[in-house]
């Protein structure tokens, strides 16, 4: 039996995950503690937090597992930079400095930073780490595994046959052809920040129509048997990673959208950009569907696991569930680079004889919130804090009265979705609530939707789908029933769907209690659930973060465990 710490770092969403005797004990993204959104740095704070939560010291670890092969990544970067000279000459110095600096020596830095012997620091292939993070915490003994992201060492897409604890690579598409980089390039073209704005593109897609398929057929095409190929002249990920797209893309689609300009769908050009997003989403789904069908043909499996950043595209996941031919589909909540830390830990644990862990039941794998600390700080600030005997009942009454409640209870979530532990909760009925949340609190674009959380056993009353293996982690969408749309006006997107979270007591007990109380009061057991953070901020982690959010943002109430602060009328 082993104690293994997994690490991902040096691209974005650095994280640490701790596996002890085959059990996932803790998993934390560095951004939650550093307060730097998408923090890519070596996640020592997250690593020590995982250990402290488990009552362990670094010397107790049997292994520290890194989620990719640093020297293999260096080789890929060098080969492509040299092969594409002189086009890559501007990127060459910075890329080389990055690889030969902290990245190539990351295993040594982990040894030094954690105080662990160097021979206990191991590494695994990037896509294998992703695949393990999905298969090994899934409910399936046998599954096809599809990993789709920007790029690992060389692979951008891989298909695996997963059996028990074993993963066998069956097929791949390699850099520079990448669906992750396709989506990133178009994200930049639409004026959003890469690795941050992809969710915005997905929301924007519902405001357009996929009218530009002819142009996109020249940007990316299926090559048969599930593979795909980019027109590299349209992209710049080998010469300008910050821009992401090349001049050929603008010749096809028109000038890029100016970053930061307010959206106005009365403008013809903004309607065009919405059509670009809609076409991109449709084309991505078509290619993923072809890849998933290929995975089913290669493996014969009835179940599918997805990983990599592209696996956080909830719209695409819903289509795969409906059309790819698999009985069930699973996406673990931190499918992006953070999840690689968990996969690496599980692979190292397997090498040391640990059993495969139980299926992942909850995303609440972070640190608990300290109510005593919250009370002390609130008192020092003169805030009107009081204890309540039944916090779930208090939250339900506030939500039923139309209030927006910041809800910080239990351990914070693993992954980019707030699932009730660090959430903003509100009544899902009135579209005006969505406008208030977008404009005054979240400060987001007006086209971005909010998600509903519903008691699992009542899902069919509101949605044209039941709970599945993705809905507890909010990694898929469902169509809102026609007879429920008026009651769910704040969480129904323009296309009639919602990014659904189904809530069970075993997975999210605090949120389940709120929904149960709403039902007891005679209201629908559904809330608008969005992440407890402002624009450009990581999701709240500890008590000080929750109070800081309260002081900066105009929510009506804050609940930290059994403490309640309400804003005076």
Longest dimension (CA), the chain: 68
Between CA 160 and CA 188, with CA 76 as vertex, the angle to 5 degrees is 85
CB-based contact 293:321 (threshold 8 Å): no
- DSSP letter for 390, please: -
Tell me the angle at which helices 126-135 and 337-351 cross, rounded to the nearest 10 degrees.
Answer: 80
Helix (H) or strand (E) segment spanning residue 297? helix 268-299
How far, in Å, are 87, 155, 235, 240, 533 from residue 83 at the CA level? 9, 17, 16, 15, 43
Residue 505: exposed, middle, or buried by beta-carbon count in 10 A (0-12, 13-18, 19+)?
middle
CA angle in degrees (0–180, nearest 5) for 455-460-466: 85
Q: Cα separations (Å) of 51 from 172, 197, 219, 345, 366?
A: 36, 32, 46, 13, 11
- Write down the catalytic residue from 10, 12, 303, 493: 12
Indicate the pairing of strand 405-408 with strand 422-426: antiparallel
Indicate if 12 belongs to the active site.
yes
Angle at CA of residue 343, ends 122 and 148, nearest 5°: 120
From 341, 330, 327, select the one nearest 469 (Cα to Cα).
330
First to last CA, the chain: 57
Q: Cβ-count burial of 127 within 10 angstroms (0-12 exposed, 13-18 middle, 19+ buried)?
A: buried
Q: Which active-site residues does the annotation give?
A: 12
């Amino acid at each position: 039996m082993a104690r293994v710490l997994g690490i991902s770092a040096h691209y974005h969403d650095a994280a640490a995950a701790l596996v002890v005797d085959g059990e996932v004990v803790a998993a934390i993204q560095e951004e939650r503690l550093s307060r730097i959104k998408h923090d890519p740095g070596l996640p020592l704070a997250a690593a020590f937090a995982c250990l402290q939560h488990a009552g362990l010291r670094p010397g107790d670890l049997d292994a520290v597992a890194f989620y990719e092969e640093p020297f293999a990544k260096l080789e890929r970067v060098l080969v492509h930079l040299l092969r594409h000279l002189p086009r890559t000459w501007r990127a060459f110095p910075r890329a080389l400095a990055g690889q030969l600096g902290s990245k190539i020596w990351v295993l040594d830095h982990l040894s030094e930073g954690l105080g662990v012997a160097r021979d206990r620091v191991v590494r695994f292939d990037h896509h294998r780490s992703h695949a393990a993070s999905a298969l090994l915490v899934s409910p399936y003994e046998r599954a096809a595994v599809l990993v789709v992201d920007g790029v690992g060492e060389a692979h951008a897409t891989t298909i695996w046959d997963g059996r028990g604890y074993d993963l066998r690579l069956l097929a791949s598409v390699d850099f520079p052809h990448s669906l992750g980089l396709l989506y990133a390039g178009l994200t930049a073209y639409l004026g959003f920040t890469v690795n941050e704005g992809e969710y915005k593109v997905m929301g924007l897609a519902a405001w357009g129509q996929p009218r530009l398929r002819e142009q996109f057929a020249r940007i990316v095409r299926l090559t048969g048997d599930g593979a795909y190929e980019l027109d590299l002249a349209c992209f710049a990920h080998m010469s300008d990673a910050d821009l992401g797209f090349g001049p050929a893309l603008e010749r096809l689609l028109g000038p890029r959208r100016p970053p930061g300009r307010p959206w106005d769908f009365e403008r013809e050009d903004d309607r065009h950009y919405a059509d670009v997003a809609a076409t991109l989403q449709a084309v991505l789904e078509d290619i993923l569907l072809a890849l998933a069908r290929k995975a089913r043909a290669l493996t014969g499996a009835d179940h599918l696991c997805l990983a990599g950043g592209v696996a956080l595209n909830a719209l695409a996941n819903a289509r795969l569930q409906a059309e790819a031919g698999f009985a069930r589909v699973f996406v673990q909540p931190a499918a992006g680079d953070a999840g690689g830390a968990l996969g690496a830990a599980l692979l190292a644990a397997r090498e040391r004889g640990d059993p495969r862990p139980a299926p992942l039941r909850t995303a609440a794998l972070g640190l608990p919130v300290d109510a005593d600390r919250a009370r002390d700080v609130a008192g020092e600030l003169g805030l009107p804090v009081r204890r309540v005997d039944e916090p779930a009942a208090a939250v339900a009454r506030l939500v039923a009265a139309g209030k927006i409640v910041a809800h910080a209870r239990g351990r914070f979530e693993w992954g980019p979705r707030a699932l009730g532990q660090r959430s903003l909760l509100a009544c899902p009925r009135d579209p005006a609530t969505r406008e208030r949340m977008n404009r005054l609190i979240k400060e987001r674009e007006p086209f971005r939707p909010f998600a509903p959380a519903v008691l699992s056993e009542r899902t069919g009353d509101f949605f044209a789908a039941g709970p599945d293996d993705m809905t507890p982690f909010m990694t898929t969408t469902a169509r809102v029933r026609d007879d429920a749309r008026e009651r769910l006006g704040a969480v129904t997107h323009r296309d009639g769907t919602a990014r659904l979270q189904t809530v069970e007591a075993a997975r999210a007990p605090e949120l389940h209690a709120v929904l149960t109380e709403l039902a007891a009061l005679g209201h629908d057991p559904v809330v608008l659930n969005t992440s407890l953070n402002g624009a450009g901020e990581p999701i709240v982690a500890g008590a000080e973060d929750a109070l800081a959010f309260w002081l900066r943002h105009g929510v009506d109430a804050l609940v930290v465990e059994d403490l309640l602060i309400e804003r005076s009328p």
